[in-house]
Structure 1
Amino acid sequence: MRLLVIEDELPMRTALVETLAAEGYRVKAAGDGISGLETACMETFDLVLLDVMMPGLDGYAVCRELRKRGRGMPVLMLTAKGQIDDRVDGLDSGADDYLVKPFSLRELLARVRALLRRRERDQAVPEVLELGTTVIDFRKSSISQGDRVHPLSEKEAGMLRLLAAYAGETVSREKFLDVVWGYNAFPSTRTVDNFISALRAKLEQDPANPVHLVTVRGTGYRLEQDSPAGERSHQE
């Protein structure tokens, strides 16, 4: 696994590189946002660790530009700013997770492992998924049923990717929040239920009696790729 560390403070940059290298990762480092952005766009990385407070081009701007250029690798933001608005700004700029300094190296490594596992799951999901007469196209972020095409938001597409990665298995509400919204976002489990309802309206022939997005009572949801006649979800 190749990791890129973008951090302007030399002691922190050195500590991160040494810690990650000791875990077996191949690590490259950049000392400012501009060179970090160029490196991230010219080479292939499985994960970027990105400091927020940097001169010239800060972490928010770097992350937004990465997403604008179609670079989809996970981004873990590292910052001394811990206010809710700062975390929201980081996630809205396209980051996948947010870690506030000072942090323990054990937690950092745990976050890195979690993001890399999520990336592996995402890569295992086909770009086009067919559910009966319904087609989910992750490349176009859309769901189509015949002539009807429904756009998918980033969160909706993320939820469907997670469900597809665990097809036939139950995905808990908490896992949706961790994977799709990130550790430091602040939605409730009711948010997940609301998004599922919206997805059913786009995906199911009869949203009131879904056969693909199945509720597992008291736990979460499951994606069924086959839809035998008469199959219905166990509604809460």
Structure 2
Amino acid sequence: MEKDITVAVVEDDENLRFLVSHRLQTENYKVIQVGNGLEAEQIILEAQPDIVLLDWMLPGKEGIEVCEAVRKGGFENTIIMMTAKSQDVDKIDAYSYGITDYITKPFNMDVLVAMIENKVRFFVPKNSNKDVHVFGNTEHHPQIHSLVRDGKKIELTILENRILLHFLQNMGREITREELMEVVWGYSSNVNTRTLDMHVVRLRKKIENNPDKPNYLQTVRGLGYKFVDEE
């Protein structure tokens, strides 16, 4: 059965592009194929694929420039950079441009598929997430990472969106910090709980009338948080 997941394969080597695209299609992904950087930027912003496999070296515009441009254009989905071993030294720097992850050429197709399946599992919103949730006078639209209140759109970051969605799907339930970190970062995380708390503070500023005395996103001492909507 075809997965409702679109992967854009941006690679100028026709043979590799064909091999990767063919393998992903056999795994039931929808595939968009692109051979140069300028075209890739346009297609990514128009088609909004769930995952982009982006080659580092491309004609027209380098992969890192494509990544930077689409991030500035509002694209928030997963971008996996395909690099050669010699480009390892530049990888750290590239995270600042919005790369989600890397795979080094030559790569094993099974490893690539496993990496994509991991991203789908943890980072691609499920269909059920398309539902609009309402609390107070605010609507949450998870697919566009936004709140709508009094006709005004309030942008959420990817992490804020993920945190709020989990709360709204578990209304009234006490949720531990550990559970939230696994939901947000996609694994039993070693991320400092203070990092999570920082995102919660930022989220409160967007959803609460008084962030210092939260009405919705409440702290549960010694445990974590719970979300309540009691008018």
TM over 0.5: yes
Matched, 1:14 2:18: yes
Structure 1 residue 156 displacement after superposition? 5.6
* Unmatched segments (≥5 aa) in structure 2: none
Secondary structure of 2:54's counterpart equals: strand
Matched, 1:40 2:44: yes
Aligned match of 2:113 in 109, 112, 133?
A: 109
Preserved CA contact (<8 Å) 2:80 2:102: yes
Preserved CA contact (<8 Å) 2:217 2:228: no
Cα 1:36/1:136, change in 2 over 3 Å: closer
In 2, Cα distance between equivalents of 1:213 and 1:26: 38
Cα 1:137/1:155, change in 2 over 3 Å: same
Structure 1 residue 5 displacement after superposition? 0.5
Preserved CA contact (<8 Å) 2:103 2:112: no
Preserved CA contact (<8 Å) 1:136 1:142: yes
Counterpart of 2:62 in structure 1 is: 58
Identity of aligned residues (%): 26
Q: Which residues of 2 match residues 1-236 of structure 1 at below 5 A?
A: 1-41=5-45, 43=47, 45-80=49-84, 81-83=87-89, 86-87=91-92, 89-90=94-95, 92-95=96-99, 97-102=100-105, 103-117=107-121, 118-121=123-126, 124-126=129-131, 129-133=133-137, 141=146, 154-155=157-158, 157-163=160-166, 166-168=169-171, 170=175, 171-178=179-186, 188-205=192-209, 207=211, 210-215=214-219, 221-222=225-226, 224-227=227-230
TM-score by length of 2: 0.67
Secondary structure of 1:200's counterpart equals: helix
The AA in structure 2 aligned to 1:23 is E
* Unmatched segments (≥5 aa) in structure 1: 229-236
Structure 1 residue 151 displacement after superposition? 5.8
Aligned residues: 215
Preserved CA contact (<8 Å) 1:5 1:29: yes
Preserved CA contact (<8 Å) 1:174 1:189: no
In 2, Cα distance between equivalents of 1:219 and 1:36: 45
CA RMSD of aligned residues (A): 4.0
